[in-house]
Amino acid sequence: WEATAQVPFSGARIGSFFQDRPVLKNPFLEDALLRGYLSRHLPEREALSDLCKFGERVANEVDEWGRECELNPPRLVHFDSWGGRVDHIVTSPAWKRMKDLSAQEGLVAIGYERSFGEWSRVYQMCKLFLFSPSSGLYTCPLAMTDGAAKVIQSIGISSAVEEAYSRLTTRQPESFWTSGQWMTERRGGSDVASGTETVAVPQTDGSYKLHGFKWFTSATDADVTLTLARVQDRRGATTPGSKGLTLFYAEVSRDEDGRLKGIEVQRLKDKLGTRQMPTAELLLDGLQAHRLSEEGRGVASIANMLTITRIHNSISAAAAMRRHDRTQLVLLHSILCFLLNYAVPMGCVGRVVQLARDYATRRTAFGKLLKDHTLHTQTLARMEVETRGAFLMVMDVCRLLGREESGVASQLDTNLLRLLTPVVKLYTGKQAVAVVSEGLECFGGQGYMEDTGLPGLLRDAQVLSIWEGTTNILSLDVLRCVARSSGMVLHAYFTHTKSLLASASGVSSLAPAVNSVDRALSELKDFIQGAATKAPGYLELAARDLAYSLARTYTGALLIDHACWKGASCIRHLHGSQVV
């Protein structure tokens, strides 16, 4: 016997089997639902070809940069070599390339150019949907930049913020600015009204100096920021609570010695995820600021920013889940799974579903590919339905936003937008964590290994339900907007959901699904009517469950509506018979 080349694992040989890695392909071409949604609502060739080109760029260029951002996280340099305080946040070259790319591709600009009228927001958000999982979290500064532009636009573009507005919404990389959103202080991020201690001291030239401590500030390499503070009167007194909060705009700039003007970066946060992006604690020590809102109207004025960033958050959640491609048959199957498993905890997959699905075509266990194990396919299908539902719900909110911004929204649209914004944010945030976690498991042990890049997806997903309003805070926001509209937002909800279901009337194959969602809708209505007669505090306890039910029922109706748009021809094709 001789040690020959026939013997595996001897000497330097490490075996002959190496698992194929999952491959990321053009996420636009890979995504049948995205393309289907667009051909239904925005079939403009210009938009589709831009998205297709961008998808190619994401797969072949940008995804690599995203990974680089993860491997080369930001760091804080407090002092220069001679001991001078500089507070320089050093970011990776890839992070900087993301900024240029974002401007060139119009990732914020599209929302303000409005080239596609009421569908411009849908177009913009589809682009962000493709970008998000590969963006190295650059979608975070973009969300805040979009939100800041929206606030400035809605308050009125005065000369003090004219340049900022044009830089926040430009396509020129050399002029492009990003914005921060500094709301959270040590005492509280949910209860901003009690938590804000920052004061604004009026200056003789009409500007203000801000003094305070901002406990969480993300993408702190921003050029400008919006923030809240309490204006001091001549005696130094301020008004407590929400009525004392005013919205300010400030630029982050340096003096001739390279020192930040009016800001000290205390430290960078040591975070579970989102490590690609700097999140800092900031001492505001005389930061020069311009008052944007009327005094005491800070929360109401920043609400527009919250609407935009919460929608961006939902896009990122759906995108983290998605990136996959299936036939319409699977969509129908998904609806049924969704309805049959109404009580099963929800999860979402985006990037992770696409990768897991690809992996299932490469990995063999027990003599066949994973895709040929029915239980594994069922797991993928359940992730898929969550993802599809999430996508349709987010897109619907973008549709409503686009209608409002282009002046064609009905009262019903406006009410729906107000209600669904917190609903979609809170629900997709939770889905993302569950689906991404399931997605990691689809890779077995490899899903737990850092160098695959997969664990980072789960860490990053966890933040989606925390920042921009936690699940409970947004559930309470739902109750509040219902109460303040005297029930009009719920009326809009029930009317529109019913009309979505009506589109399936006559599609016999969808009848069980329609009946199921219709029943859920009636139960929801009964619950709400019954709750009005219960003791105070009852609805508060039910707030989260109510918000989840609103989300699931609406999603079911959207899935049905979309299935009968294309599903009819698909079923005809598959069964060779007339369905409608």
Chain residues binding ligand UCC by CB under 6 A are 139-140, 143-144, 181, 183-184, 189-190, 192-193, 218, 242, 299-300, 303, 306-307, 309, 312-313, 316, 467-469, 473, 477, 480
- In angstroms, what is the minimal distance from the CB of 469 to ligand UCC? 4
- In angstroms, what is the minimal distance from the CB of 251 to ligand UCC? 19
Q: Where are the beta strands (DSSP E) in 155-314?
A: 179-182, 199-202, 208-218, 224-231, 245-251, 263-268, 279-291
The reply to whether 182 sits near ligand FAD by the rule CB under 6 A is yes
Whose CA is closest to 50, among 105, 122, 115?
A: 105
- Amino acid present at 166: S
Radius of gyration of the chain (CA): 25
Site for ligand FAD in 209-238 (CB under 6 A): 216-218
Task: Figure out which of the listed residues 178, 179, 274, 428 binds ligand FAD, where binding follows CB under 6 A.
Answer: 274
Separation CA 474–CA 89 (nearest Å): 32
Nearer to ligand FAD, 219 or 380 (CB): 219
- In angstroms, what is the minimal distance from the CB of 316 to ligand UCC? 4
- What stretch of H or E contains 393? helix 374-405
Taking CA atoms, 97 is separated from 165, 174, 312, 458, in Å, by 22, 12, 21, 24
Number of residues in contact with ligand FAD under rule CB under 6 A: 21
DSSP state of 189: S
Give the residue carrying structure tokens 């407590």. Answer: 240
The backbone region for 80, taken as left when phi is positive above 0, alpha when psi lies in -120 to 50, beta otherwise, is beta
| Chosen from ligand UCC, ligand FAD, none, partner binding at 415 (C-beta under 5 to 8 Å by type) | none
| Chosen from ligand UCC, ligand FAD, none, partner binding at 274 (C-beta under 5 to 8 Å by type) | ligand FAD
The set of residues, in sequence order, having a beta carbon less than 8 Å from that of 197 and lying 6+ positions away, is 185, 186, 187, 212, 213, 230
Nearer to ligand UCC, 320 or 381 (CB): 320
DSSP string, 304-366: HHHHHHHHHHHHHHHHHH------HHHHHHHHHHHHHTTTSPP---BHHHHHHHHHHTT-EET
Nearer to ligand UCC, 89 or 192 (CB): 192
| Chosen from ligand FAD, ligand UCC, none, partner binding at 208 (C-beta under 5 to 8 Å by type) | none
Nearer to ligand UCC, 78 or 297 (CB): 297
- In angstroms, what is the minimal distance from the CB of 571 to ligand FAD? 44
Phi, psi of 190 (to 5 degrees): -80, -50
Region binding ligand FAD by CB under 6 A among candidate stretches 117-125, 146-154, 467-475, 493-501: 467-475
Separation CA 197–CA 200 (nearest Å): 10
| Chosen from ligand UCC, ligand FAD, none, partner binding at 207 (C-beta under 5 to 8 Å by type) | none
The reply to whether 301 sits near ligand FAD by the rule CB under 6 A is no
| Chosen from ligand UCC, ligand FAD, none, partner binding at 242 (C-beta under 5 to 8 Å by type) | ligand UCC
Nearer to ligand FAD, 144 or 517 (CB): 144
Nearer to ligand UCC, 183 or 398 (CB): 183
Give how far the C-alpha of residue 41 lies from the chain's centroid of Cα atoms, to the nearest Å: 21
The reply to whether 246 sits near ligand FAD by the rule CB under 6 A is no
Whose CA is closest to 31, among 44, 15, 48?
A: 48
- In angstroms, what is the minimal distance from the CB of 463 to ligand FAD? 5
Q: Which residues bind ligand FAD (CB under 6 A)?
A: 181-184, 188-191, 216-218, 271, 274, 279, 463, 466-467, 470, 472-473, 476
